[in-house]
């Protein structure tokens, strides 16, 4: 092989590697951006639901409660509101998880999710953590007991395994799970 051919070959190989690295890198960045937008949107809608709906109708005697469906004077809990919206999605998932959840169905699904949730809980400077997990790209944001009622309800719920929440605690996380290759 001539020297020129060898150089051209190496350059082509280097370029191909670089292209692959850049495109993989970009794809990951894109997932990260999408995941962060989704998380921000979910949190914004949940906050708007709490502040504009839950707090508003409370004065009229309508309260959020778990079995709201049976009561014409009740509305869904904020967590149920998020879950109901999530149930209507097809190409990705949103949800709420916790290490000591009211329901086991809200436990992290994989070891990577457990690790990320533990990191969020132990280091409060980390607001959002994103990572690849199998064929999904995931991001989670800490869910904080911003008002006393978060704590009160979880501490007395018959199915809650943890009864020592305090205002300001990280109670879990909002999670988004994006499929890396479409549906």
Give contact residues for ligand HEC (rule: CB under 6 A).
Answer: 64, 66, 77-80, 83, 96-98, 101-103, 106, 143, 145-147, 149-150, 153-154, 157, 171-172
Shortest Cβ 38–ligand HEC spacing (Å): 17
Shortest Cβ 96–ligand HEC spacing (Å): 4
Shortest Cβ 161–ligand HEC spacing (Å): 9
Closest to ligand HEC by CB, 13 or 51: 51
Closest to ligand HEC by CB, 28 or 40: 40
Shortest Cβ 108–ligand HEC spacing (Å): 10
Helix axes 78-87, 3-48, angle to 10 degrees: 130
Q: Of the candidates 87, 88, 108, which has an alpha carbon nearest to the alpha carbon of residue 96?
A: 108
Q: Is the dihedral of CA 109, 80, 163, 104 positive or negative?
A: negative
Closest to ligand HEC by CB, 31 or 64: 64
Q: What are the structure tokens assigned to 179, written together?
A: 């499929």
Alpha helices in 76-147 (DSSP H): 78-87, 111-122
Q: How far apart are CA 47 and CA 59, in angstroms?
A: 18
């Amino acid at each position: 092989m001539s020297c020129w051919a060898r150089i051209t070959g190496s350059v082509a190989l280097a370029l191909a590697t670089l292209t692959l690295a850049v495109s993989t890198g970009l794809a990951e960045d894109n997932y990260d951006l999408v995941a962060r937008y989704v998380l921000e949107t979910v949190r914004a809608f949940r906050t708007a639901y709490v502040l504009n709906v839950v707090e508003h109708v409370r004065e009229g005697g309508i309260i959020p409660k778990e079995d709201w469906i049976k009561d014409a004077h009740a509305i869904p809990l904020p967590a149920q509101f998020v879950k109901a919206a999530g149930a209507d999605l097809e190409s990705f998932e949103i949800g709420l998880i916790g290490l000591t959840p009211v329901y086991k169905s809200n436990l992290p699904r994989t070891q990577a999710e457990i690790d990320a949730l533990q990191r969020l809980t132990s280091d409060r400077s980390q607001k959002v953590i994103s990572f690849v997990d199998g064929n999904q790209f995931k991001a989670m944001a800490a869910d904080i007991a911003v008002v006393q009622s978060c704590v009160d309800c979880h501490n007395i719920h018959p199915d809650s395994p943890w009864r020592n929440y305090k205002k300001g605690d990280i109670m879990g996380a909002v999670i988004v799970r994006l499929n890396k290759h479409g549906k």
